[in-house]
Each structure stands twice: as structure tokens, then as C-alpha cells.
Amino acid sequence: MQPRFSRVASTPAYQLVAEAIEREIVAGHMRPGDPLGTEAELVKQFGVNRSTVREGIRLLEQGGLVRRDSSRRLWIGLPHYDRLATRLSRALVLQEVTFRELYEAALGIQTATIEAAVERATPELIAQLEENVARTEETLADPVAVSELDAEFHSLIGRAAQNRVLQLAREPTESLVAPTTEIILRKVKEGAPRLLHAHRMYVDALKRRDKEAGRLWVRRHLNDWRKGFERAGRDLDQPIDRIYLQNRQ
Amino acid sequence: MQPRFSRVASTPAYQLVAEAIEREIVAGHMRPGDPLGTEAELVKQFGVNRSTVREGIRLLEQGGLVRRDSSRRLWIGLPHYDRLATRLSRALVLQEVTFRELYEAALGIQTATIEAAVERATPELIAQLEENVARTEETLADPVAVSELDAEFHSLIGRAAQNRVLQLAREPTESLVAPTTEIILRKVKEGAPRLLHAHRMYVDALKRRDKEAGRLWVRRHLNDWRKGFERAGRDLDQPIDRIYLQNRQ
DNA sequence: TTCGTCCGATTGTCGGACAATATTTTCAGT
DNA sequence: ACTGAAAATATTGTCCGACAATCGGACGAA
């Protein structure tokens, strides 16, 4: 038999409160930095109990739309990269995405990133990148140090690109790819020198403002990563392991 | 003067509750689909008041880590694309990113997407894409219909790629780029035919499994979009407008 | 000015209560 | 013994009132 009516679903009040506040923020009537108002005021405006208001606020708090400052007062907040990025990486782990999926996405995102970086890299950032390369050369035998410097290097490239959309897309993939670098460096002897050389070529491309070279070395660098990953005995089509997220928060 | 001490920050109990549950989920001790348990049980386990437990649960609810089903009971959830994607686009709007940033990111992400789609597109999806193209041809004079079909087309390409990381990165950029298509089509006469032709070439590349052609037409298609955007009198370096999010939820 | 002290305002937490609804159990009728 | 209705129970959503901890500001003393 065909049901005539769809099920009635009454939205709980705390959710309505959250949605109302969210609408005001997204619509631009309340801007980041504005005070949200005290709980007592919200109670009066919404006509519900303080507990209900508080539950509604908690819904928004996690997403970064409202912030508590030192005085525990509530302000309209601006969801920021790192917060969203860690959420995203966690979601990717829970979805059990494979390394192949990560690799393909990283290739596209990093290619776009290096192109933007070639266009807009400042002398300061290039200096920082060169300093990073110098430190990498010094500690080339230490897999832990090299993989940390590698993560920093790509983070600097991301900053050089001056593109927040790319930054937001880059960080989650990066933070899942990065932990494997150490494993690879331990197993594959020529990994560290090749990594160092690729980084040198990156910086060189940035200095010469050569997009084609940038693209080329992104491909090579990620290709190295993928091959090293396989040579370390891992399967590209396996889900990424949730262990990689343990030491992040 | 150098501050000697970092600020002391005591974490409220409701947040500790949320973090404890979150840790268990991320660590894999509780899996998506498991029941979270009743509030009374959580009260006993955490040794705090029910209000506190409820506030903690609300923190996780919004992110999709816990779900309420029809019976209002709580289950461990799996954060899903569309949920995360809409929150991402919202964040991008609030950050007031520019169209140039969107364009650069879309170029990288869509290039990677088409490459994956060329590798893995199924006959069913290709058929759906062809049907989409046919409908586009029929309604070529109607900007609203064409822009809707354009959005559907790219969504299908995303599905064809079978890559969840790319899908997650693609959707937010797409959902911000899409609303401008209609504006462009109204102002630029040759826009619709060019869009249609590009879509045809996409499908053609998929059928011939030709990555190079796929990349080429992504570049051309997005280039058309950018030029149309400028010809419609818009500035690439202006922040995207929050109006574009009004009719989404 | 700078330092205590007080006071009101606000948040975090608690305990209890009740209505609405979902689930489980009981039980009558076959 | 099985089925289906009715009652009992469990659980969530919402409300109320309360209190300690803390913050911001005012006020006055050194």
C-alpha cells in the first residue's frame, strides 16, 4: 500500500535555535567578531529555556561559527583552515579512502598550488624555502627530521600560493600523505636524496617563475612518493590507516 | 617583555565529554553504525549531569560524528560529503575568497577529476552524461535550465571519477562556481553553445579514454567560464558574494 | 598610578520535573 | 502456541530553579 502522507518530522527547538543563528551569520547580518549576545538575551529572543539555547549554541561552536574567548563570552567566529582541515582529514580516515584516491587528489591540488606559487611567491618565502632545503641537506640521514622538514616545505609552498581554497584542499591530503614519508625513507635508501633534489627543483622553478618546471617536478616528486610507497610493501588500494591520525588533535 | 607563562585554560566538562567520545570513534573502538548508548548510560560513565552530556553530544552532532535516527536515539555516524561540502562552501564564503582563488583551485581539482574519470567511467555513467548533453541541447536557449544541467553534468563527472577525496574537494568549489554560470549565459550569447560543445568533448574523451583531451577541455571549459565572467562585468579579484548561498541549506 | 576589594553579570554545572514519543512487555482472544 | 491490542516502561526534548566559579568594572587606599 502506498503511504499517503510523508512522516511528520518536527525539528527540535535547540536545532531551530542553531539554524536561526547560522542563517543570520551566513546572510551577513552578523559579522565575524560581533558578540553573539548573552545566553539570557537569546533566551528572551527565542522564547525557550536556557538549556535549549545552550544546546543550540553547542551545535555551532564545534564548527567554528561561534567562538568562546577567554571570558567565556560568545562571539561570531570565522571557521579557519586548520580547524576545518583536521576535520576533513578525520572524515577521510573514517571513510577509509585509499592511498590511490589521495594520490590522485594530491597530484591535482599540488599542481595547481605550484602554479599559483610560481606566480606569487615572495622573496621572503623563497628564502624560507631555501633555508628549509639547507636544513634538509644537513640531516639527510635522519628519516624523522627529513619527513618533518618535507611537511614544512609543502606547507610553505602552500603559503606561497596565496590561495585559501587551495590551502584548504591541500592540507587534509598533505596531512595524510606526510606520515608515510618517514616509513618510505626508512625502507628506500635513495629516497632522501631524491626528495632533496626535487625540493631544490621546486625552489628553482619558483625563482625562475617557470610553471612548466613546477608542474614537472610535482609529478616527479609525487611519483617518487607513490613508487616508494609501493616499494615499502604497501598497497595503493588499501584504506589509509587510522593510526596516522593518533598524534594529531 | 617576554611573557613567562602561557595562559591557563581549563576545559569545560561538556567539551571533555565530546572529546572523549570523539577519540573513541577516531581510534576505531566505536564504529559508524554502533549505538552511542542512552544519555543515562553516558551520565553514569562520565559522572556528570545529563545537561552536560547533552551539550557534549551536540558538539559532535553537527559534524556528523553522531547521528539521531527517527527514534531520536543516538548512533555513531560517518561524516558524509554533502554535509562537509556545504559547510566548506559556507566557510569559503565567510572567508570572502576571490573568484581567482576558486578558479585556480577548480582547474587543478577538475583536471585530476577528469583524469580519474577517463580511467574509470562506467558505461552507465557515460550514458547518463550523454543523456544530460542531449537535454542541454534541447533547452539551449534557457539559461536557468542550462546552468542546472551544467551543474548536474559536473556532478556526474565527479561520480565517474570514483574518488572520494576529489569529490570532497570538488563539490565546494563547484557549488560556488555554478551559480555564476546562469549570469554568464544571460550576458554572453555564445556561452551556451560553447558549453555544450565542451561537454560533448568531455564525453568524447571519456569514451576514447583520452586523458590528454580531457585535460585540454577542462582548461578550455574553465577558461571560457573565466572569460565569460569577466565579460559579464565581474572582477575576478572580488570576494564571492554570500548571496550565492542563500538557497542552499 | 597601581594594587586590593567588592559587586553585579555571565557561564558552567547540577538536580529534579514532566510531556511526548518509542520500545518492550503483558495479556486477551483465536 | 500465535497474533495483535493495550498497558507499562524507557528515552528524549524541554523546562525550572539553583549555585559556584569567574570575569569586568567600580571604588577606594597606598
Question: Which of the 8 DSSP states describes residue A190?
Answer: T
For chain B, give the mean pLDDT: 89
Whole-number Å distance between alpha carbons of A216 and A111: 9
- The amino acid occupying position B191 is G
Residue A136: in which H helix or E strand, if any? Answer: helix A123-138
Residue count of chain A, please give it. 249
Q: What pLDDT is recorded for position A242?
A: 66
Q: What pLDDT is recorded for position B248?
A: 38
- The amino acid occupying position A67 is R
Distance from CA of A44 to the nearest CA of B (A): 20
* A 124-163: CB under 8 A from B: 163
| Cα–Cα distance list, B151 to B24, B113, B216 (Å) | 38, 15, 20
Which band of pLDDT confidence, cut at 50, 70 and 90, is reported for residue B8? confident
Residue A115 contacts by C-beta under 8 Å, 6 or more apart in sequence? A211, A214, A215, B104, B108
Which band of pLDDT confidence, cut at 50, 70 and 90, is reported for residue B104? very high
Q: What pLDDT is recorded for position B215?
A: 95
Question: Which of the 8 DSSP states describes residue B22?
Answer: H
B66-68 and A66-68 beta bridge pairing? unpaired
Residue ranges of chain A whose pLDDT lies below 50: 1-4, 246-249
CB contact under 8 A, A28 and B116: no
Whole-number Å distance between alpha carbons of B214 and B227: 20
pTM: 0.89
Q: How many helices (H) and strands (E) does chain B have?
A: 10, 2
**Tens-digit pLDDT profile for residues A166-218:** 999 999 998 888 888 888 888 888 888 999 999 999 999 999 999 999 999 99
Q: How many CA atoms lie within 13 A of B31 on its CB side?
A: 2
Average pLDDT score over residue span B35-52: 94
CB contact under 8 A, B169 and A169: yes
Nucleotides on chain C within 7 angstroms of protein Cβ: 9-17, 21-23
**Tens-digit pLDDT profile for residues B158-171:** 999 999 999 999 99
Using a CB-CB cut-off of 8 Å, the residues of chain B touching A115 are 104, 108
Q: Which residue has the cell 578550455?
A: B220
Residue of B220 and B234 predicted with greater confidence: B220
Residue B7 contacts by C-beta under 8 Å, 6 or more apart in sequence? A70
Shortest CA distance to A185 belongs to which of A139, A125, A129, A132?
A: A139
Distance from CA of B225 to the nearest CA of A (A): 17
Q: What pLDDT is recorded for position B1?
A: 47
Q: How many helices (H) and strands (E) does chain A have?
A: 10, 2
Q: Which residue from B28, B164, B246 is facing A95, i.e. has the nearest CB?
A: B164
